[in-house]
Amino acid sequence: MKKISFIFCLSIVFYFFTSCNKKSDKFEEILGTVEYFIDHTPDSALIFLDSIHNPYELKEDQHAKYILLLVQAKDKNFLDISSENLIFQAKDYFIKNNEKKNICLSAFYCGRVLQSQKKFDNAVINYLEAKNIAVTINDYYLCGLCDFFIGEISYNQLLFDEAIRYSKKAEYNFLRCNKYKNRIASNNCIANSFLLKKLPDSAFVYYEKGLGLAKSNNDLTAQIDVMHNMGLAFQMINEDDRAKEISMQALSLCSDNDQKAKHCMSLSRIYIHENKKDSALFYSILALDLSDDDLSKASIYRQLSKIEENSGNYRGGLDYHKLYSKSLSSTFEEKENFHILNVLKKYDFELLQNANKKLVIERLWIVIISIVVIALGTFMFIGYELKIKKHY
């Protein structure tokens, strides 16, 4: 009887822990799959992360990894990460457990979150912390990213010399790890900084360098993007003919409607500057026909309103302004709905966390009560046997 009771007790405890281990193994497999996809197809990584319906079931190390991968996937998908404050807890966990690679990555993504929150000084501190570790493990790509975003912060704060310095460092690190797209982005930041320093000759050296990289790697999309920036730069220095020429070239290379619309808008702005209403209207309306999203349409309606007002057609300008307001309102409504969904999701996570804690406590109580009942039954049985032996 004692043996049966002991085996029953062990069975309950074994079932409790094996059920937890099965879930843990499943989560480990999902996180491993996310790590595999995250650099090349971050949208797929996000889908796998969403399959973890209750992140609070994860063990502490898995939860820290989950948060890091979630912020990483969202950032790579250009989603808002400004509310992802759990990344700081994940970083603390990695520091406590001396996980060097993850400390480096989490420090970088703390920087990304802080930058999105416009806490630029703290963002730079985290980028520098991440870079210091990245140097020791020869992670040139992460070194380049840290330099690039420090350069971006400097650029947005109009610290153009600092922006140039860090963007050059970034370009060198991206060269060391053969990341040509990142090199193009770095050269673009350097060029823009020189342009705003009123040094256009230096600016176009770096635009041309970026364009050369795009051409040598047969990257048509990158070529079009660099040419778009060059067109805007020519507009800034009032070289409208050269701006038109390069914008026309870029437009002829475009296959995507959104890209075509962007270059049509550039051409429309040039013709507005030249006081050529018909040409400006032609390219703005062409851009409108090519655009699908409300934000792009809002920008085009605003430009059409400006064209009509400049020519004295105030009624036409007002009509386009109403359409601009309507499109802008739709954009805000869409963003608000997306924000509400995110808030609801976070609220659901909190409910799941509380439910999970309650479930864990209930399971523990079941195990404890079962052990106590078995122990009492065993003692009562032993006591009964001893009593019978004494009686005889």
Assess if residue 309 is contained within a domain.
yes
Q: Would you call 328 helix, strand, or coil by DSSP?
A: helix
pLDDT at 239: 92
User: What is the residue whose two structure tokens read 């320093």?
Assistant: 197
Q: Check pLDDT > 50 for residue 173.
A: yes
Burial class from Cβ neighbours inside 10 Å (0-12, 13-18, 19+) for residue 115 reads: buried
Higher pLDDT, 330 or 243: 243
Angle at 140 between CA 134 and CA 143, to 5 degrees: 55
- pLDDT tens profile 335-390: 554 444 454 445 444 544 554 555 556 556 666 776 766 767 666 666 656 666 55
Residues 205, 149: Cα–Cα separation, whole Å: 22
Average pLDDT over residues 135-157: 97
List the CATH number of the domain containing 301.
1.25.40.10
Average pLDDT over residues 198-217: 96
Contact between residue 177 and residue 209 where contact means Cβ atoms under 8 Å apart? no
Assess if residue 85 is contained within a domain.
no
Contact between residue 142 and residue 130 where contact means Cβ atoms under 8 Å apart? yes
Q: Is the pTM of this model over 0.95?
A: no
CA-based nearest residue to 184, from 220, 155, 153:
220
Residues 142, 135: Cα–Cα separation, whole Å: 9
pLDDT tier at 278, thresholds 50, 70, 90? confident
* φ and ψ at residue 169, rounded to 5 degrees: -60, -45
pLDDT at 6: 44
Average pLDDT over residues 261-284: 85
Higher pLDDT, 229 or 48: 229
pLDDT at 340: 45
Higher pLDDT, 16 or 164: 164
pLDDT at 386: 63
Out of 113-117, 281-285, 377-381, least confident range: 377-381
Contact between residue 298 and residue 278 where contact means Cβ atoms under 8 Å apart? no
Range of the domain at 299: 219-321
Structural domain count, the chain: 1
pLDDT at 379: 66
Give, to the nearest 10 degrees, the angle between helix 314-391 and helix 2-37.
160
Out of 104-118, 201-215, 359-373, least confident range: 359-373
Average pLDDT over residues 104-126: 97
Contact between residue 25 and residue 321 where contact means Cβ atoms under 8 Å apart? no
Top mean pLDDT of 55-64, 121-130, 277-286 is at 121-130
Q: Structure tokens of 273?
A: 């500057």
Residues 346, 343: Cα–Cα separation, whole Å: 5
Assess if residue 299 is contained within a domain.
yes
Share of residues in the chain with pLDDT > 70 (%): 77
Top mean pLDDT of 53-67, 143-157, 366-380 is at 143-157
- pLDDT tens profile 153-165: 999 999 999 999 9
Top mean pLDDT of 25-29, 121-125, 354-358 is at 121-125
pLDDT at 272: 84
Burial class from Cβ neighbours inside 10 Å (0-12, 13-18, 19+) for residue 206 reads: buried
pLDDT at 370: 64
**End-to-end C-alpha distance for the chain, whole angstroms:** 21
Q: Structure tokens of 84?
A: 């992802």
338 CB-side CA count, 13 A: 8
Number of H-type helices and E-type strands within the chain: 16, 0
Q: What is the mean pLDDT of the chain?
A: 82
pLDDT at 364: 61
Largest CA distance in the chain: 120
Average pLDDT over residues 186-191: 96
Burial class from Cβ neighbours inside 10 Å (0-12, 13-18, 19+) for residue 198 reads: exposed
Q: Check pLDDT > 60 for residue 167.
A: yes
Assess if residue 39 is contained within a domain.
no
Average pLDDT over residues 325-338: 60
pLDDT tier at 80, thresholds 50, 70, 90? very high
* φ and ψ at residue 238, rounded to 5 degrees: 60, 30
Higher pLDDT, 32 or 22: 32
Residues 346, 227: Cα–Cα separation, whole Å: 41
Q: Residue type for 26, please?
A: K
